[in-house]
A and B are shown apart, each in its own frame.
Chain A
């Protein structure tokens, strides 16, 4: 099944455009965008199994660690650069965002909102780092080393003069109700940003 945040972002992708997906995983999103939108796709991935799955799907994939450098990509060489559910796992999220905005004409970032009430409750009542189905790791073995909240990300965009074209925050069923619109940082579980310089 298509991850519902991916269903939302496809509306922001221009047909036939050139798309770079940082941490493209099994290539499902790019495969979908390729068949539905006719995009010319490149995915970056380091997990061997995911790379294999991309090749199996006919999705272009490059074995490259986005924590090391993205300097090999030229300025504005892609229409859209994607970073879905990966921001919290990179070493320097602010550097990656800068690099994305350099490489892409526009960028899409999705991440789990740590400001969600469940995380707050978990920490408040149990006094321990939240573990859930959605974030199933213990603090010591999690790849997610840079959790942030919707408000944190808004702040980063302000500090860096990043233009937020659209911000969508949804719950775990990926519905965006009027309540979430009112209290996105409290009720939203997944944040989806469409940004540019």
Chain B
């Protein structure tokens, strides 16, 4: 944390662990009899309980979306650019709820928790959870918090898919659905990248069929590899040229670096199998850091939830039919350089909403940062997000 808490930060926050005893019947047919959800909240719930916003996290996110857990924490929560006083999701106006999804590894019940039935780690026995199951558990959370309707449910990427599920399955429980950098379902290319990530984890000799915790070990290399390949898909070509092309003079614009992002790590080639380029060392660092905090089985579960998501399965493949009962208003935003979930994928959702006769706004934000842009302070994105939620606040804070 900086020496003093920045004015537009929610400051020091403390997570809470909520316990649920109602069994949760999962999409797979299995069920979880009881579970914990780790949550964080920012801002204050108004008297009529109308100003609550639910944040749904993406693949590697958790409940820690904003602020700092302690003065020693070097980086704030994952969506600190968008949550805080005066930020798009303004904690002076909204009561913000963020959770770690079921199957996660940041405190909510997941593969690295102890299975009460066996007294050992769930590991690979933890059931496959889907977006639908997560949203079901989020409804239970909503009831525990005695919130009748969300002012908005908000999420980017896999988080946006949860927002979609809310709008389809629980239409009366939200006023606004805000989906950022999202797709209606994964493409073959998306699934292919996920499979490479899964294979790199399961092929690690330390994986032990998912029972690595029982063996007192961890498939660190596998998780690193999975994260490295994932990370490449979050960035754009131009973002990488920019990030790793600092040694070169820009040719004609501030974004395209003259050496294609080929900055060397030490200034010369090694002519061996060493890390020569900055981009390599960056990916190693990102993978390394990630593998220190993220559970391998959780990563497998999250990628499966992504692969399985398809809101049209119950509607003969029609996305507009899926939205037929939705009554909330929709805001979608996509980013020009996002090749993981490119703008066309958001347009599919927008078009389905138009066909279904729904109220929808859509912005295609020019940004170089790729899929990651939704986490970053892209000016037009932040401005539109702020403006939209200002209207929502005017509606719910009477």
Contacts and interface: CB of A to CB of B under 8 A. Distances in A.
- Among A42, A55, A72, A74, max chain B CB count under 10 A is at A55
A52 B390 CA distance: 12
A77 B357 contact: yes
Contacts of B380: 48
B391 A42 contact: no
A58 interface: yes
Contacts of A54: 361
A40 B357 contact: yes
Interface stretch (B146-154, B156-164, B347-355): B347-355
Nearest to A59: B361
A52 B384 CA distance: 6
B388 interface: yes
Interface stretch (A60-68, A87-95, A122-130): A60-68
B329 A60 contact: yes
Nearest to B391: A58
Given A56-B387, A56-B391, A63 B363 contact: yes
A179 B361 CA distance: 44
Interface residues of B, number: 20
Contacts, number: 46
B355 A42 contact: no
A109 interface: no
Interface string B350-389: 1100110101111110000000000000001001100110
A51 B360 contact: no
A37 interface: no
B362 A62 contact: yes
B364 A63 contact: yes
Interface in A56-106: 56, 58, 60-64, 72-74, 77
A18 interface: yes
A18 B359 CA distance: 10
User: What 8 pairs across the A-B complex have the smallest Cβ distances?
Assistant: A72-B351, A62-B362, A55-B387, A58-B391, A63-B364, A60-B361, A63-B363, A60-B359
Interface of A: 18, 40, 42, 48, 51-52, 54-56, 58, 60-64, 72-74, 77
21 contacts: A42-B360, A48-B380, A51-B384, A52-B384, A54-B361, A58-B391, A60-B329, A60-B360, A61-B361, A61-B362, A62-B350, A62-B354, A63-B363, A63-B364, A72-B347, A72-B351, A73-B354, A74-B354, A74-B355, A77-B354, A77-B357
Given A63-B362, A74-B354, 18 more contacts: A42-B360, A48-B380, A51-B363, A52-B383, A52-B384, A55-B384, A55-B387, A56-B390, A61-B361, A61-B362, A62-B350, A62-B354, A62-B362, A63-B364, A72-B351, A72-B354, A74-B355, A77-B354
